[in-house]
Amino acid sequence: MTTVSNRTHEATAAGAPAGAKTRPGALATTGSPLVRPPAAAHLTDEQVAELGRELDAIKDDILGKRGSSDADYIRRMIKIQRALEISGRAALLFSKNKKAWVAGTTLLSFAKILENMELGHNILHGQWDWMRDPDIHSTTWEWDFVTPARAWQHTHNDLHHRWTNVVGKDNDVGYNLLRMDENQPWKPFNLGNPLYNAILAPVFEWGIAIYDLELADYQEGKKTKEALMRDLKALGKKALKQFTKDYAATPAAAMLTGSGKQALYGTLTANAVRNVWAHAVIFCGHFPDGADTFTEEMVEGETRGDWYVRQMIGSANISGSKFMHLMTGNLSHQIEHHLFPDLPSNRYAEVAPKVQEICKRYNLPYTTGPLLKQVGSSWAKVFKLAVPGKAKTA
Amino acid sequence: MIRLRKLARAASLFTTPLAPEDFLALFNPVFSTRQLRGVVTRVVPETADSATIFFRPGRGWQAHKAGQWARIGVELDGVFHWRSYSLSAPAGQDPAITVSDVGAVSGALVRNTKPGDILFLAPPQGDFVLPEHPRPLLMLTAGAGITPVMSMIRTLVPHRPDSDVELIHSARTPADSIFREELAELADQFPNLKVTDWYTSERGRFDFSSSKELDALCPDWRSRAAYACGPEGFLDDAESLWSAEAAAAARNGGKSPAGPFAADPVNLIIERFTTSLAGGDGHDGGLVTFEASDREVEADGATPLLDVGEDAGLLMPSGCRMGICHSCLIPLRAGHVRDLRTGEVHGEPGQLIQTCVSAAAGPVNLDI
């Protein structure tokens, strides 16, 4: 319902009559924005349109190939994840034994990471909706994360992916907590930037849950009290179940072997590991050096090609092994994911060289680097923007 | 059962947000809380282009009545496609469907299905079933139309010596005739079944334009409860004959035969497999917006909205796919649709649209 009311709101804003042929949000194929972002300022309207057609062709190519091998892939991932989850939790029941604790906590950490990233994030994007399997579908999936899937889909799929890195429109730029862009006015509160971020990382799922409530929208009157109460209720229900599973039921079952306390430490650790990892990966998506932010002028009149350009120059990849890509839920291919948010994640690696080639040909930045470098780069920004002034990029 | 439910609730404390079934699916793929599934246990070829597929359904399946059909979801290159198939197994036995290769989905079912494959299922339904009280029956079938009738014959004939069934089955050639041997054996073994094989390659189409051929094969046909299943033309012809007979009987002041079907002057029960959907040919479609799912698709004027939605990856409600069961209704938000059976254009906001037989007539907004 949130989605619908939001769209209605935009329809009014855009002045589109009810029942109009094009939906608000549909982008023109020709024309140009008021201002093109600096990194793309050298491109003509025709070049941007051509770039858009090339990227559409890449997408169509994958849509044509998508089939049973992709379906097998996601089913295999789901099986692996569930096997890890069961065995991890089972091992924690005997976690008085140190080896069992290490094994259980490790397995559960991996299970939670896979569940949130390669499964949850991607399935909730609708990447697997084409299979028409109600067990693997964006409208039925619920994830092992405090924030309810529907709430997250609204702020993430709808708002973040549409308005990627547009300061003032995409609240993912700092999550209403951190100053992550020099165009965000500095306040003394921002001195705590590094501290807030350090506290946020291990409890990231709770941070996202609060973020998805859109409290700022409520204060500004953009979100009704009923909508907020409904979201709070959904969050409360979900949080209670999540809390019970990891911090009550599992330790209670482990008490039978005298491992209650150890099991609690195990689930706490697994959640913290997942939170720190997810936080690190997600901060690598748009905050490292080279990933641009945008002004509202740059999206006014934006064409389909310009939208693609913004996704590419506003995102950053992580380079690394196949295993690293899997553990990031293929968000290491952030650029490709932002171009094609609903293509199956297992296809991003195949698309990446083509996208990189296009960026090279059109002389656009394609930001990528190893994990540690990208994490370091986004943390550097957290520190630099704690104080007033501009964060000079190296 | 109650203890089992308590156990499941306790287990779900550990599995949330998933259900215990999601973990049990690691060991047995029919477990799911969202989708009834079955595992194929056996595939038996019938003719060159038909096969019977036996399956073991998961919990939630209901035993079928002879003659009913079920919606079956078949995986084709990673995508599940729903079609309706008649169950050919007798009532009370493990379910099986007999499929003829007439399209991409049924073709794949006939040719590629192996034991262990997963089918999506919806519980059996349909009113094409045996009468509640015993009475003489006449079965008129053509081609794959024998499937539901086979279930009826298998259910009735061997177990009810008092039954009286006459079957007239049309097929192109003996080699195309599904269940030919089994029917011959049943007719040999049970005097209460009489089978007439009508091969159209030799004798042409069964003639319903007058009662001559029926009179010759089954003189007491007027007093029997008649069932017909087959292609659309075959059923239309049979239906006209029965209506003509009913009209004639009424003109003569006669009464329709007594029995459980007395209320139905036509006294013919038919089961259709397909509906002609030509109403949208040559018309323009439009932009279809699935509002709640936030998807939009450019659709042509001949593709049912159900297919348009499914191709866009939506979980569309669906049923018979021929405009009779109303399982596919979705509220219209704005725009107009064309009924593909009649070509009629209609649409008011809030109206429930049969998506399986409606196509876009200009921009359409649907509430899904």
Q: Decide if A338 contacts A311 (C-beta within 8 A).
A: yes
In this complex, the residue of B17, B81, B315 whose CB is nearest that of residue A143 is B17
Which residues in B lie closer than 8 A to residue A140 (C-beta atoms)? 34, 315
Q: Write out the H or E segment, with its range, that includes residue B170.
A: strand B165-171
DSSP 3-state of A139? coil
In this complex, the residue of A21, A132, A158 whose CB is nearest that of residue B313 is A132
Q: Starting from the edge strand earliest in sequence, which strands make up the sheet with B118-121, in order?
A: B79-86, B69-76, B118-121, B37-47, B50-57, B96-100
pLDDT of residue A12: 31
Contacts of residue A200, defined as CB under 8 A and 6 or more positions apart, other chains included, come to A177, A178, A207, A279
Which residues in B lie closer than 8 A to residue A130 (C-beta atoms)? 78-79, 313
B94 CB within 8 Å of a chain A CB: no
CB pairs under 8 A between A and B: 99
- Among chain A residues, the shortest Cα distance to B24 is held by A82
The sign one gets for the Cα dihedral B361, B362, B367, B368 is: positive
pLDDT in tens, B200-239: 999 999 999 999 999 999 999 988 999 999 998 999 999 9
Flag if B365 and A241 touch (Cβ within 8 Å).
Answer: no
Flag if A137 and B16 touch (Cβ within 8 Å).
Answer: no
Q: Are strands A316-319 and B358-366 parallel, antiparallel or unpaired?
A: unpaired
Phi then psi dihedrals of residue B284, to 5 deg: -80, 150
Tokens representing A194 are 């590094």
Which residues in B lie closer than 8 A to residue A244 (C-beta atoms)? 13, 16
Mean pLDDT check: name the lowest of A144-153, A245-254, B199-208, B325-334.
B325-334
Flag if B80 and A133 touch (Cβ within 8 Å).
Answer: yes
- Among chain A residues, the shortest Cα distance to B364 is held by A19
For an interface test with B, which of A132, A267, A340 has the most B Cβ atoms less than 10 Å from its Cβ? A132
Between A346 and B277, residue with greater pLDDT: A346
pLDDT of residue A181: 93
pLDDT of residue A2: 31
- How far is the alpha carbon of B93 from chain A, nearest alpha carbon, in Å? 28
Tokens representing B58 are 């998961």
> Which residue, B215, B211, B175, B218, is CA-closest to B196?
B218
pLDDT in tens, A74-112: 999 999 999 999 999 999 999 999 999 999 999 999 999
- Measured CA distances, A26 to A13, A52, A180, B126, B289 (Å): 14, 14, 29, 43, 12
DSSP B32: -
Instruction: Report B:117-176 residues touching A (Cβ under 8 A).
Output: 120
Which residues in A lie closer than 8 A to residue B22 (C-beta atoms)? 82, 135
Contacts of residue B122, defined as CB under 8 A and 6 or more positions apart, other chains included, come to B36, B70, B71, B72
Give the mean pLDDT of A354-364: 98
Flag if B14 and A89 touch (Cβ within 8 Å).
Answer: yes
Give the mean pLDDT of A123-144: 94
Which residues in B lie closer than 8 A to residue A89 (C-beta atoms)? 14
pLDDT of residue A28 exceeding 90, the answer is no
DSSP 3-state of B67? coil
Entry pTM: 0.88
pLDDT of residue B282: 67
Alpha carbon B257 to chain centroid, angstroms: 29
B327 CB within 8 Å of a chain A CB: no
Which residues in B lie closer than 8 A to residue A134 (C-beta atoms)? 32, 34-35, 315
CA B73, CA B121: separation in Å to the nearest integer? Answer: 6
Which residues in B lie closer than 8 A to residue A133 (C-beta atoms)? 35, 80, 120
Flag if A132 and B315 touch (Cβ within 8 Å).
Answer: yes
Between A336 and B133, residue with greater pLDDT: A336
Tokens 């989850």 appear where?
A85
- Among chain A residues, the shortest Cα distance to B23 is held by A82
- Measured CA distances, A333 to A120, A212, A324, A345, A369 (Å): 16, 24, 11, 9, 11
pLDDT of residue A391 exceeding 70, the answer is no
Which of the listed ranges A7-21, A206-220, B238-252 does the model predict with the highest average pLDDT? A206-220
Q: Decide if A349 contacts A325 (C-beta within 8 A).
A: yes
CA A33, CA B249: separation in Å to the nearest integer? Answer: 77
Tokens representing B92 are 């009370």
pLDDT of residue B275: 66
Query: For residue A327, which amino acid is it?
Result: M
Contacts of residue B33, defined as CB under 8 A and 6 or more positions apart, other chains included, come to B19, B21, B22
pLDDT of residue A30: 86
- Among chain A residues, the shortest Cα distance to B35 is held by A134
Question: CA torsion A124→A129→A135→A138, rounded to 10°?
Answer: 20
pLDDT of residue B130: 94
CA A21, CA A12: separation in Å to the nearest integer? Answer: 15
- CA gyration radius, chain A: 22
B17 CB within 8 Å of a chain A CB: yes
DSSP 3-state of A310? helix
Tokens representing B127 are 């009113």
Tokens 């941070």 appear where?
A207
CA B319, CA B330: separation in Å to the nearest integer? Answer: 12
Helix axes A68-92, A260-286, angle to 10 degrees: 140
pLDDT of residue B254: 55
pLDDT of residue A29: 83
B34 CB within 8 Å of a chain A CB: yes
CA B23, CA A246: separation in Å to the nearest integer? Answer: 17
Query: For residue A255, which amino acid is it?
Result: M
pLDDT of residue A103: 98
Flag if B78 and A70 touch (Cβ within 8 Å).
Answer: yes
The sign one gets for the Cα dihedral A205, A207, A211, A215 is: positive
For an interface test with B, which of A77, A131, A133, A346 has the most B Cβ atoms less than 10 Å from its Cβ? A133
In this complex, the residue of A3, A67, A245 whose CB is nearest that of residue B294 is A3
- How far is the alpha carbon of A102 from chain B, nearest alpha carbon, in Å? 20
Q: Decide if A104 contacts A92 (C-beta within 8 A).
A: yes
Q: Decide if B304 contacts B239 (C-beta within 8 A).
A: no
Model confidence at A53, in pLDDT bands (50, 70, 90)? very high
Query: For residue A332, which amino acid is it?
Result: S
CA A262, CA A256: separation in Å to the nearest integer? Answer: 12
Question: CA torsion A332→A337→A343→A345, rounded to 10°?
Answer: 10
* Ranges under pLDDT 50 in chain B: 257-266
In this complex, the residue of A86, A133, A253 whose CB is nearest that of residue B23 is A86
In this complex, the residue of B77, B81, B287 whose CB is nearest that of residue A21 is B287
- Among chain B residues, the shortest Cα distance to A84 is held by B23
Flag if A132 and B296 touch (Cβ within 8 Å).
Answer: no
Tokens 């009834």 appear where?
B36
Contacts of residue B43, defined as CB under 8 A and 6 or more positions apart, other chains included, come to B51, B52, B53, B54, B113, B114, B115
Q: Decide if B44 contacts B34 (C-beta within 8 A).
A: no
CA B145, CA B179: separation in Å to the nearest integer? Answer: 12
In this complex, the residue of B13, B291, B315 whose CB is nearest that of residue A139 is B315
pLDDT of residue A247: 98
DSSP A294: B
Which residues in A lie closer than 8 A to residue B104 (C-beta atoms)? none
B116 CB within 8 Å of a chain A CB: no
